[in-house]
Homo-oligomer: A and B are copies of this chain.
Amino acid sequence: MESLVAWAPVMAFVGLGVALGIYRSILRQPEGSPRMAQIAAMIHEGAMAFLRREYSILVVFIVVVAALLYFFITPRTALAFVAGGGLSMLAGFIGMKGATRANVRASEAARGRGRDAALGVAYFGGAIMGLSVASLGLLGVAGFFLAYVALADTPTVPDLAGFAMGASSIALFARVGGGIYTKSADVGSDLVGKVEAGIPEDDPRNPGVIADNVGDCVGDTAGLGADIFESYVGSVIAAVTIGAALGEMNAAYMAAPILVVMVGLAASLLGLASMKLMRGVDPAVTLRVTSFIAAALMLAGAYGVVVGLKLPMGVWGAIALGAVAGVAIGLLTEFYTGMYDPVKHLSETALTGSATILINGFALALESVAAPVVVICIATFYANELAGLYGIGIAAVGMLATVGITMSVDAYGPIADNAGGISEMAGLGPETRKITDALDALGNTTAAIGKGFAIGSAAMTALALFSAYIKAVGLTEINLVDTRVVIGMFLGGAVTFVIASLTMKSVGKAAMKMVDEIRRQFREIPGLMEGTGKPDPARCVDIATKGALTEMILPGMIAVLFPIGIGFLLGPTGLGGMLAGATVTGVLLALLMANGGGAWDNAKKYIEEGHFGGKGSAAHKAAVVGDTVGDPFKDTSGPAMNILIKLMSIISLVIAPLLI
């Protein structure tokens, strides 16, 4: 059965083929009025221009690092690194194409054909990203596994880590750059447009709105895609690396993670297809049911894989644990950030001013880390009981196997958000707005769940990579009795705080430049407020792009160089301590920031629904302050933590041979 791995590239091409088919079918849909087409073109161009410029910087980074890997590690690692980075960028590129083509067509579908049609366009638009991530990830991982291990004369498992490191490096820059972009554009256009000029969100007179919509794409689509891509390939490579050390059964243990993600991709395709059966069903139910169908099919297929490979049944148990834990963390995130009691109570504290909603929101965020951490602990504990360290690795794979569909749902959110923005800017009717608003609100829920899932999967992947690192350096212990380990833990904890600080300040700096530019346009372009003058959105897009790309360099370099420095300063055990400290505090900070930001956001929305005085009341003003503080929490610094912990683990794994 191990030989079935050779079919993985075929499966990957099937997935890519379906993605291409969906892309073509979306392109065939009408774009609507010329005004809509024009707005969509601006968003598309802005997003693609950002990606092009970001990638042109990252290519330099990849070449430099590849050269270092070539000389200091192995040429094979360097090659895998380039491929990992390249395929991650390609997935982001394809997904972004899909998203920026689907947004306007979802808007037009809402206008001409109603809710189900609009949901279908937005969802399948997201599926282009979902399937690209899953297919290209599978292609790369399986391809290098075949070339370096299964079909190689001298198998070299450690070189595989280069692929995950490539994916991880791109993810860091994409997440940080995208996060800074989206929030600087959002905060900048809100501050001048909504607050100073007093015009509504997404008003076409605001020069920043195009940048704001571009930001949704580059942050939530490309950034999240790269994040998930990395978790996906990282978990598989971690499981393979651990499996390689498992004695005579190791061929089966190494094949299992790849076969499971193959099965997961097939299950995702069937889940997507099941969408066609859901006409007339509530959109929220549709998204949930299709995901569950895919998960159930994946688990059934994984059962076949485990039996076929003659692995102990505990391996399947670990896969199931991972899948269930991913869902549980997503739902817990929804509980703390959705329209439930915690957020409703939080919005009430806005009645006594911004200080109280901030204190209570922060307290809520601090508290909200407990339950997801317990879920991670239970999953880790039982995965280990069932199948040892390998169980932790394969549980992470189980959590991520159906990425083809979970990422589709995640990518749906920004498309629906964009569709709403385009409807507003193009002045479509209230009926259309109602549909796009409803789809957008659903997108906020899926985004919250997606964030929780991203953190949970990052935590599991980081733990799996940590286990792989331990195997790779050949350590039997990373002992807390050893002072280097304790020091490493402290430094690992501190570096997550520093990266969070840097990214948070970056948003502020980039946003201030955006504010200056939008103010300048309102001041200098005659008739802009009256609707007779034309704004220059391209300049705003350009400023957000430059700001994001400049600001992503420093945190990115720290994340890359820190584990290397610690490794040489404190040795392999100290580096192990550093990873443990960074993983624990990184996961806690990521949960704190994602849930805090999400809760403030929805507390504001709850007030806007008419509670506690509604829009324009003192409570609303206080809640807006909370929401603004939460923005960089949830969309910039928090997500950066996911990548940071994975990237530092994977770099440690790659440099392990140098430390022994």
Using CB atoms and an 8 Å cutoff, list the residues of chain A in contact with chain B: 191, 349, 352-356, 358-360, 362-367, 369-370, 373-374, 376-377, 380-381, 384, 389, 392, 463, 466, 470, 475-481, 483-487, 489-491, 493-495, 497-498, 500-502, 504-505, 507-508, 512, 576-577, 580-581, 584-585, 587-588, 592, 624-625, 628-629, 632
Chain B residues lying within 8 Å of A504, measured Cβ to Cβ, are 359-360, 362-363, 366
Q: A42–B480 Cα gap in the complex (Å)?
A: 51
In whole Å, how far is A442's beta carbon from the nearest beta carbon of chain B? 27
In whole Å, how far is A35's beta carbon from the nearest beta carbon of chain B? 33
Chain B residues lying within 8 Å of A475, measured Cβ to Cβ, are 481
What does DSSP make chain A's interface, helix, strand, loop or mixed?
Answer: helix
Chain B residues lying within 8 Å of A366, measured Cβ to Cβ, are 497-498, 500-501, 504
Q: Nearest CB to that of A515 among chain B residues?
A: B352
In whole Å, how far is A498's beta carbon from the nearest beta carbon of chain B? 5
- Please determine whether A470 and B481 come into contact, CB atoms closer than 8 angstroms: yes
Q: Nearest CB to that of A577 among chain B residues?
A: B480
Of the residues B577, B581, B625, contact of A354 by C-beta under 8 Å: B625
- Please determine whether B483 and A381 come into contact, CB atoms closer than 8 angstroms: yes
| With A362-B504, A500-B366, A584-B585: A463-B486 Cβ-Cβ less than 8 Å | yes
27 interchain pairs (CB within 8 A)? A352-B512, A358-B629, A359-B628, A359-B632, A360-B505, A362-B629, A363-B502, A363-B505, A366-B498, A366-B500, A369-B498, A370-B498, A373-B491, A373-B493, A374-B491, A376-B490, A381-B483, A384-B483, A389-B481, A466-B480, A477-B477, A479-B480, A480-B485, A486-B580, A493-B584, A584-B584, A585-B588
Chain B residues lying within 8 Å of A349, measured Cβ to Cβ, are 508
- Please determine whether B632 and A483 come into contact, CB atoms closer than 8 angstroms: no
Chain B residues lying within 8 Å of A352, measured Cβ to Cβ, are 191, 512
Chain B residues lying within 8 Å of A353, measured Cβ to Cβ, are 625
Chain B residues lying within 8 Å of A508, measured Cβ to Cβ, are 349, 356, 359-360, 363
| With A377-B490, A475-B481, A483-B381: A498-B358 Cβ-Cβ less than 8 Å | no
Q: A504–B346 Cα gap in the complex (Å)?
A: 14
Chain B residues lying within 8 Å of A389, measured Cβ to Cβ, are 481, 483
Chain B residues lying within 8 Å of A584, measured Cβ to Cβ, are 489-490, 493, 581, 584-585
